[in-house]
A and B are shown apart, each in its own frame.
Chain A
Amino acid sequence: MKTNDVILQTATKIIFFIIFLFSIHIFFAGHYTPGGGFVGGLLTASGIVLLLLAFDLKTVMTSLPINYTVMTAIGLLLALATAAGSIVFNVPFFTHAFDYFELPLLGKQSLHTAMLFDTGVYLVVVGVTMTIIQTIGADD
């Protein structure tokens, strides 16, 4: 029996983007305020979970054709590469670099390699969470 869930689906279509934007905000805010890669990743994953609740597994997989295992691997690679960049400069592993830049539109901003590391964390968290949920969900 298929219930009519048009309210849920319509609301999801809007709310998903709010959650996603909020997760990106949290992710970027991590250096100066509470937040960071881990919560950001979890929030993104929870947005996708909301999609999974409103629609079925197949629809979400076709609209977001992401191999989450590969996503995890890319995240790990990014984190490792950021940390290992210091090896090239012969300073201790994990030494980060950081400076201020004038960016178009955004003005004076600090860019820190820790952000790249956090991106790796973000990708791993999203990848792992979604792998877990999809695998359990696809299991009969």
Chain B
Amino acid sequence: MINLLLFPILLPFFFAIILMFFPKKRFTQRIITIVGLLSTLIAATILLITVKTNGIQAITLGSWPAPFGISMVSDMLSVLLVLSSTLITLIVVWYSFTSIGKAREENFYYPGVLFMLTGVNGAFTTGDIFNMFVFFEVLLMASYLLIVLGGEKVQLRESIKYILVNIISSALFVVTVAYLYSVVGTLNMADISVKISQLGQPGIITVIAVLFLIVFGLKGAIFPLYFWLPSTYAAPPIPVLALFGALLTKVGVYAIMRTYTLFFTLDQSFTHELLMIISILTIIAGCIGALAYFDVKKIIIYNIIIAVGVILFGASQMNEASLMGSIFYLIHDILIKGALFLLIGVIIAITGTSNLKKMGGLIKYYPMLGWTYLVAAFGLAGIPPLSGFVGKLLIIQGGFEAGNLWGGIVILASSLVVLLSVMRIFIYAFWGEPVEITPLTKRHYRGLFTPAVILVGISVLYGAGSEWLVPYMSDAADVMLNPSQYIQAVLGGA
């Protein structure tokens, strides 16, 4: 089945189209969405097994020979990301059943989510730089819908900011692709890689590398370009926030990792040094934000920025340990950010506020919620048996191996800040004097809490079973370290 790698893109697309026929039938919509996501999950799992046993899967659409048609490439990194994105979407959709509300469900909420997943999976799978732009637009258009759907005042204000920033960065993306095309004359990513190594990365390619860093940095929120993210992400309802927080910035991070390991490998003393400095600044900026706020949403949102910094620091080191750590941490972060947003969504639903100072004593009424949150918080900070540990350990090991002592130390220190910031939520919301709350009905609470707890469970398994995951991660890191495998899979023996 040579088209297998396209199924995680086509299935959500197909089901999203089906959903457009009857927007008002809420229950049919829910059932079809779940069916669609489950089948996508199955397809992604089969794809993972295929990639593991048979190596990188590549196909060039329309039966054209490789550099001329659009290539789709599924290596271990992309298939792992596709699988975890689909998983997170499935759980967030389940959570949405209770939390998103009738009005949004009847106005294309589920098609929006599925179209976004189409874009995300497509951006992870594509092997063509302009096609990547198109998939970026697919996911961004869907995210514009999701961020503004509901039409509250704050959503309208923030969606203007969000759309403006993304239009500018997309225009810059086009310009950058145009520069690259004018230098190398091809859009196929494997072919670009070959052409750049033939050229020996002259100065103009380094300029393009920096432009790509700016473009993907705007999407993925790195240090000077993250300014739009905190207030924008705080606007939409919790399930949308969870999707955005778990997936959207990760697409930008993936794109940086892909371009910096596949294209721009010859002038590392400049490009990767720059990436490293920026990632460390990103971590510091995120840490400051995470400590500065008393708003639970803002605290977790700044933790996204910290994670972006940590992953990119790993990617900038370019040795096996750090790249493997980056991939470990990337998947961990998708899972744990989703889980944390869903959990604080439950807290906000119970207390009716996102202000920490107005909360207290929740552990008395909701002990399970409290302990689940604590596990998720420890997972985020990277306490050993949990999911954040292995990734960060490998990233720091990679940093030390590459001789960047200070970078490693900043990451270690940032873990403390992360722990402090999420523990503050635990201390303020769950301990202390109980405040007036409006208890949720049992059914409502269960509808919100069950998906969140399952996601935390998955992230715990991910941490506990990391030994079992190592072969997958090392396969993924291997392709990034040796782009020749990728090129060979796309272009054949050439």
Residues of A in contact with B (beta carbons under 8 Å apart) = 69-70, 72-73, 76-77, 80, 84, 86-87, 90-96
A72 surroundings in chain B (CB, below 8 A): 20
With both beta carbons as reference points, the residue of chain A lying nearest to B5 in the complex is identified as A93
Q: Which residue of B lies closest to A75 (CB)?
A: B17
Residues of B within 8 A of A (CB-CB), count = 18
Bound Cα distance from A79 to B18, whole angstroms: 13
Residue of A nearest to B61 (CB): A94
List the B residue with the shortest CB-CB distance to A69. Answer: B20
- The answer to the question of B130 belonging to the interface, with a C-beta cut-off of 8 Å to chain A, is no
**B62 CB contacts on chain A under 8 angstroms:** 92-96
List the A side residues contacting B60 at CB < 8 Å. Answer: 92
Query: Contact: A90 with B1, CB < 8 Å?
Result: yes
Residue pairs across A and B with Cβ atoms less than 8 A apart, 6 shown, are A73-B17, A76-B20, A80-B14, A91-B2, A93-B62, A95-B61
* Bound Cα distance A73, B21 (Å): 7
With an 8 A cutoff between CB atoms, is B343 at the interface?
no
Does the CB pair A92–B20 fall under 8 Å? no
Q: Are B13 and A80 in contact (CB under 8 A)?
A: yes
Which chain B residues numbered 1 to 34 have a C-beta less than 8 Å away from chain A?
1-3, 6, 10, 13-14, 17-18, 20-21, 23
- A50 and B6 CA atoms in complex are apart in Å by 41
- Contact, CB under 8 Å: A77 / B3: no
Residue of A nearest to B21 (CB): A73
Of B17, B18, B21, B59, which is within 8 A of A92 by CB? B59
Contact B14 A93 (CB under 8 A): no
- B72 (CB) vs chain A CBs: closest residue: A93
B3 with A73: CB separation less than 8 A: no
What 0/1 pattern do residues 47 to 79 of B give for CB contact below 8 A with A?
Answer: 000000000000111110000010000000000
Docked CA distance A77–B15 (Å): 10
Residues 271-283 of B, flagged 1 when their CB comes within 8 A of A and 0 if not, give 0000000000000
Given A87-B3, A90-B2, check contact A80 B17 (CB 8 Å): yes
B59 contact set on A, CB distance < 8 A: 92-93
Question: Are the C-beta atoms of A95 and B63 separated by less than 8 Å?
Answer: yes
Chain A nearest CB, measured from B203 CB (Å): 38
Q: How far is the CB of B137 from chain A (nearest CB, A)?
A: 15
Closest to A76 in B: B17
Which of B21, B23, B62 has its CB near the most chain A CB atoms (within 10 A)?
B62
Closest to A72 in B: B20
**CB neighbours of A70 from chain B (8 A):** 20-21
- B420, chain A: closest CB distance, angstroms: 48
For the complex with contacts A90-B1, A93-B59, A94-B62, 8 further pairs of A-B residues with Cβ separation under 8 Å are A76-B20, A77-B17, A77-B18, A90-B2, A90-B3, A93-B10, A93-B61, A95-B63
Chain B residue numbers with a CB within 8 Å of A95 are 61-63
Q: B293-347: which residues lie under 8 A (CB-CB) from chain A?
A: none
Taken together as a complex, chains A and B put the C-alpha atoms of A8 and B59 apart, in Å, by 55
Which chain B residues border A91 with CB–CB below 8 Å? 2, 63
Please name the residue on chain B nearest to A84 by beta carbon. B10
Q: Is the CB of A92 within 8 A of B14?
A: no
A73-B21, A92-B62, A92-B63 as given contacts; A80 in contact with B3, CB under 8 Å: no
What residues of chain A lie closer than 8 Å to B14, measured between beta carbons? Answer: 80
Nearest CB on A from B15, distance (A): 11
A80 proximity list for chain B (CB < 8 A):
10, 13-14, 17
Give bound CA distance, A49 to B69, whole Å: 37
Residues of A within 8 A of B6 (CB): 93
How far apart sit A87 and B300, CA to CA, in the bound complex (Å)? 43
Chain B residues in 8 Å Cβ range of A93:
3, 6, 10, 59, 61-62
**B10 and A92 contact, CB distance less than 8 A:** no
A33, chain B: closest CB distance, angstroms: 22
Q: Which residues of B contact A76 (CB under 8 A)?
A: 17, 20
How long is the Cα–Cα vector from A92 to B58 in the complex, in angstroms? 10
Set of chain A residues within 8 Å of B20, measured between Cβ atoms: 69-70, 72-73, 76
Cα distance, A69 to B22, chains bound together (Å): 10
Bound complex: CA A84 to CA B20 (Å): 19
CB neighbours of A92 from chain B (8 A):
2-3, 59-63, 69
